Amino acid sequence: MYLLDSDAARKLCQYQLIHELTRALECALTDLAVLPQLIFQLRLNEPETALKKLGSDESVIMAIELVRHANTVEVLMEQSNHILDFDRPDIDSGEAVLFAALYQNAQDRLISGDKRAFVALSNVTHPISTEGIWARLICLEEAILLILEREDFDQVSAKVRARTDVDKAISVVFGRTQAASHASVLEGLTSYIQDLDRSTGGRWLDLQVKCTSNQRSRTGASMSR
């Protein structure tokens, strides 16, 4: 299961890249999971407000489709790790629930746009709290890199550049006034990931390492069935 935090879910819907993400991850919408509050955060029960929140009818439709088919992240309190009790203002309640959910199922991965939470996690001193979690964290820039590995670059670039209001950093990487080249986009996204690695004290793992770890986990899960 791939857990999506609300920030990543919203931006991927605004870019209309949800289906590209599932193809890149070789999964279905039903293999994604979102926080139960996402439907309220995006005001999906209020069409006019949802449109203002997401910026286009297509993005609203995609968000509704995501919420309709994705699973809901649930944490069993009796099994949850003390990660839920972190007294850190830079880890909000939603991210804390997502981190805790990772401990309930070792096969799960988290796609998040909240870099502050990743940096805060790197400052947690209790080793049990973060043991084994770094190989299962994917930032938004890495998710886009995975999409670019599989999809047509020009089509993805056009979708991102059509929505300069979604994410300033990603918009700059793809080019605000003139489309950036494929090589330039890869370099820009990689630069932000390297910065995240520095901000987390070198704990951020290379995307290839995480993909390999994911493949091993899938193989192990298949063999245990």
Q: Is residue 224 part of a domain?
A: no
> Regarding beta strands 137-139 and 32-34, do their DSSP bridges make them parallel or antiparallel, or are they unpaired?
unpaired
Q: DSSP 3-state assignment of 44?
A: coil
In a domain, 7, yes or no: yes
Which tokens is 7 given?
């920030």
When divided into structural domains, the chain yields a total of: 1
DSSP for the chain, please give it.
-EEE-HHHHHHHHHTT-HHHHHHHHT--GGGEEE-TTHHHHTTTTSHHHHHHHHSSHHHHHHHHHHHHHSEE----TTT--GGGG---TTS-HHHHHHHHHHHH-TT-EEEE--HHHHHHHHT---HHHHTTTGGGEEEHHHHHHHHHHHS-HHHHHHHHHT-TTT-HHHHHHH-SSSPPPHHHHHHHHHHHHHHHHHHTTT-PPPHHHHHHHHHHHHHHHHHH-
Helix (H) / strand (E) element for 33: namely strand 32-34
171-188 residue pLDDT tens = 999 999 999 999 999 999
Judge contact between 75 and 104, C-beta under 8 A: yes
Q: Whole-prediction pTM value?
A: 0.89
Evaluate whether residue 225 is within a structural domain: no
Are the beta carbons of 122 and 201 closer than 8 angstroms?
yes
| Averaged pLDDT in 10-residue chunks for the chain of 225 residues | 96 98 96 96 95 96 97 74 58 83 87 92 70 89 97 98 96 95 97 95 88 58 44
Output the pLDDT for position 218: 54
Considering the domain boundaries, does residue 138 fall inside one?
Answer: yes
Give residue 51's domain range: 2-219
**Phi, psi values for residue 43, rounded to 5°:** 55, 40
Beta bridge partners of 138: 111
Q: Is 67 helix (H, G, I), strand (E, B) or coil?
A: helix
Q: Flag whether 41 is in a domain.
A: yes
For residue 80, the model assigns a pLDDT of: 54
**Confidence at residue 225, expressed as pLDDT on a 0 to 100 scale:** 42
Which candidate, 221, 198, 217, 13, places its Cα nearest to that of 111? 13
